[in-house]
């Protein structure tokens, strides 16, 4: 991962002429995603001087909301033309893939909304304390129901994306650890150790994972998880040169 050289007090920037939209945690809310993508397309069309347009998705596309399968379909094959895209891996995608490899992890995934994802693919989800045979059968049914294009998309998701003075990750970074030495566990799962830290990271970290009613804007980080599945609000950060603003849609 390459990084910028911004210090707190400086104005962070993306490369000149680059228009970036970073979208927070979606969690199966396809209608909100479609509404936000429409707003982004309209906004980008009206932005003079944008020579490069990028949409970065922060991760957590599945679980909890009603249409994880539809969200993955949209992200893997149905995004607006004229944009570069980068879809990052969140902890929920990691749990989904972990279940396919190790069905015994099902209980942890179920606690985090697996039933909604499985049902969106037409697979019955065993509830608490199912017999091992039921979990194995569920895993096999899910593997059969998951389109190959969806599996390929999920397996290819990177953990980070760097642009200008910004670093995009799902959850955050471990304070005191060099960017290149961050672990996948921290990039997808870290919470309080990161969000409660005021350290200058050398970049502005754009992340999701920790929900709030409004975007969290700090000198060292910008949090974009505005609780699509619980508060009914999906938010995008808009970056253009040295500008920062937000677009959001609600149910």
User: pLDDT tier at 131 (50, 70, 90 boundaries)?
Assistant: confident
Q: What number is the average pLDDT over the span 208-225?
A: 97
1 found inside a domain:
no
pTM of the model: 0.94
Tell me how far CA of residue 163 lies from CA of 75, 153, 206, in angstroms.
21, 22, 11
Q: What's the rounded Cα separation, in Å, for the pair 209 and 220?
A: 16
234 found inside a domain:
yes
Q: Give me the number of domains the chain comprises.
A: 1
71 found inside a domain:
yes
What per-residue confidence (pLDDT) applies to 6? 53
Task: Give yes or no for residue 5 having a pLDDT over 70.
Answer: no
Beta strands in the chain (DSSP E): 18-23, 52-57, 84-87, 160-163, 166-169, 204-207, 216-217, 221-223, 233-240, 243-250
User: pLDDT tier at 7 (50, 70, 90 boundaries)?
Assistant: low
Q: What number is the average pLDDT over the span 113-138?
A: 94
What is the per-residue pLDDT across 27-44, written as a single tens digit (0 to 9) for each?
A: 999 999 999 999 999 999
Task: Give yes or no for residue 3 having a pLDDT over 90.
Answer: no
Task: Give yes or no for residue 66 having a pLDDT over 80.
Answer: yes
Q: What number is the average pLDDT over the span 174-189?
A: 97
Q: What number is the average pLDDT over the span 2-17?
A: 71
201 found inside a domain:
no
3 found inside a domain:
no
Task: Give yes or no for residue 95 having a pLDDT over 70.
Answer: yes
Q: What number is the average pLDDT over the span 216-239?
A: 97
| Per-residue tokens: 147 | 């389109």
What per-residue confidence (pLDDT) applies to 76? 94
162 found inside a domain:
no
What per-residue confidence (pLDDT) applies to 130? 87
What are residue 230's DSSP bridge partners? Answer: none
CATH number at residue 102: 3.60.21.10
Contact 172, 186 (CB under 8 A): yes
Cα 215 to its chain centre, rounded Å, is 14
Can you give the residue range of the structural domain that contains 217?
19-156+170-176+213-250
For the beta carbon of residue 192, count every other beta carbon within 10 angstroms. Answer: 9
- The contacts of residue 25 (CB under 8 Å, 6+ apart) are 58, 59, 60, 90, 208, 209, 211, 224, 225, 227, 228, 229
112 found inside a domain:
yes
Q: What number is the average pLDDT over the span 13-23?
A: 97
Task: Give yes or no for residue 155 having a pLDDT over 60.
Answer: yes
232 found inside a domain:
yes
Reduced to 3 states (helix: H, G, I; strand: E, B; else coil), residue 8 is strand
For the beta carbon of residue 132, count every other beta carbon within 10 angstroms. Answer: 10
């Amino acid at each position: 991962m390459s990084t910028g050289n911004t210090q707190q007090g400086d104005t962070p920037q993306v490369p000149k002429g680059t228009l970036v939209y970073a979208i927070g945690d979606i969690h199966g809310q396809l209608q909100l995603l479609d509404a936000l993508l429409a707003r982004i397309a309209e906004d980008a069309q009206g932005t003079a001087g944008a020579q490069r347009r990028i949409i970065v998705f922060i991760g957590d596309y599945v679980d909890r909301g009603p249409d994880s399968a539809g969200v993955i379909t949209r992200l893997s094959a149905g995004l607006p033309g004229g944009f570069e895209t980068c879809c990052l891996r969140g902890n929920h995608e990691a749990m989904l893939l972990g279940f396919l490899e190790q069905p015994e992890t099902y209980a942890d995934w179920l606690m985090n909304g697996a039933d909604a994802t499985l049902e969106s693919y037409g697979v019955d989800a065993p509830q608490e304390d199912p017999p091992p045979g039921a979990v194995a059968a569920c895993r096999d049914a899910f593997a059969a129901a998951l389109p190959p294009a969806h599996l390929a998309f999920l397996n290819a998701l990177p953990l980070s994306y760097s642009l200008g003075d910004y670093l995009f990750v799902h959850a955050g970074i471990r304070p005191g650890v060099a960017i290149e030495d961050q672990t996948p566990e921290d990039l997808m799962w870290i919470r309080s150790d990161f969000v409660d830290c005021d350290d200058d990271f050398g970049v502005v970290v754009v992340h999701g994972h920790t929900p709030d009613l409004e975007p969290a804007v700090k000198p060292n980080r910008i949090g974009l998880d505005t609780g699509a599945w619980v508060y009914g609000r999906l938010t995008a950060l808009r970056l253009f040169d040295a500008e920062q603003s937000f677009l959001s849609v609600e149910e």
